[in-house]
Amino acid sequence: MSDFFQVPWSDYQSDLLDALWRTISYTVVSFIGAVLLGLAVALLRLSKAWPARAVAAVYTEVFKNVPLLAIIFLTYFGLASAGIKLDVFTAGCLSLVVFYAAYLSEIFRSAISGVHDGQTEAGEALGLGKAGIFSYIILPQALRQALPGTNTFLVDLLKSTSLLVTVSAAELMSEGRLITSSTFRALEVYLVISAIYFALCYPLSQLLLLLERKVRAGVPLSPWRRRRLRAARALLAVDTTADVRVKETAV
């Protein structure tokens, strides 16, 4: 074992931390962009106007059936040859956004369609407009249904940032390649890089699983909703106490 661990990792500690930060940055920015674009495409797929549905369907089918690596090459090298030069970070995030938005749009479309039509009718009975019905009734329920699939793609997106090594994006896999070229210890280096990815992905997947269980159990996540829940419980407790007193007085 002493012959195996020969890479002076202390010399590369700062570079690995920078690469780790870049990997996280790619993941966060790309996931936010993919969620927003995926939701927009899902709404277009559900639109009553057939041109909007057609455009969204073409986008979804194209990016679902083209490899992510090809999209990265097209974004970074292809656009540059056409006179549109993007920096590595922008090209990498754009590639991940357009790729994963296609899959997330299908998840969001299925989740929104899964909300019963009676919910819309109930919102109309309460006098809510279309925006209010979608924001306060349909979207919260759809998000609960879409959470498992969205969580899966978040972890998958984090792992897919390793493909950005092909454009020297300075993330973890790129740093691993540089260390390998300096030390010629490919097995040791890539085992350590793999361990770092595991240390990122496994806790994240478990945290997302815990979040999914809490949402399924109806636990309020935001402080605002927790305050409203406590206020509602306090009001119900007061009403119950008052009813008991009235019954005791009547007896």
**What pLDDT digit, counting tens, does each position of 184-199 carry?**
889 999 999 999 999 9
Q: How many residues does the chain have?
A: 251
**pLDDT at residue 248, rounded to an integer:** 57
Instruction: Tell me which DSSP letter residue 136 carries.
Output: I
The residue with greater pLDDT, 247 or 236, is: 236
CB 189 within 8 Å of CB 7: yes
Considering the chain, what is the average pLDDT of its residues? 87
* Average pLDDT estimate for 56-77: 95
**pLDDT at residue 192, rounded to an integer:** 93
**pLDDT at residue 191, rounded to an integer:** 93
CA-closest candidate to residue 16, choices 202, 203, 197, 155: 197
- Between CA 171 and CA 100 the distance in angstroms is 19
**pLDDT at residue 239, rounded to an integer:** 59
* Average pLDDT estimate for 156-173: 93
3-state secondary structure at position 85: coil
**pLDDT at residue 124, rounded to an integer:** 76
Q: What is the pTM of this model?
A: 0.85
- Between CA 239 and CA 229 the distance in angstroms is 15
* Average pLDDT estimate for 91-110: 95
- Between CA 63 and CA 60 the distance in angstroms is 6
- Pinpoint the alpha helices (H) of the chain: 13-45, 50-64, 68-73, 79-81, 88-113, 117-125, 130-133, 139-160, 172-183, 186-216, 223-250
If phi over 0 gives left and psi between -120 and 50 gives alpha, with beta otherwise, what is residue 170?
left
**pLDDT at residue 3, rounded to an integer:** 62
Share of the chain above pLDDT 90, in %: 55
- Between CA 134 and CA 132 the distance in angstroms is 5
**pLDDT at residue 112, rounded to an integer:** 87
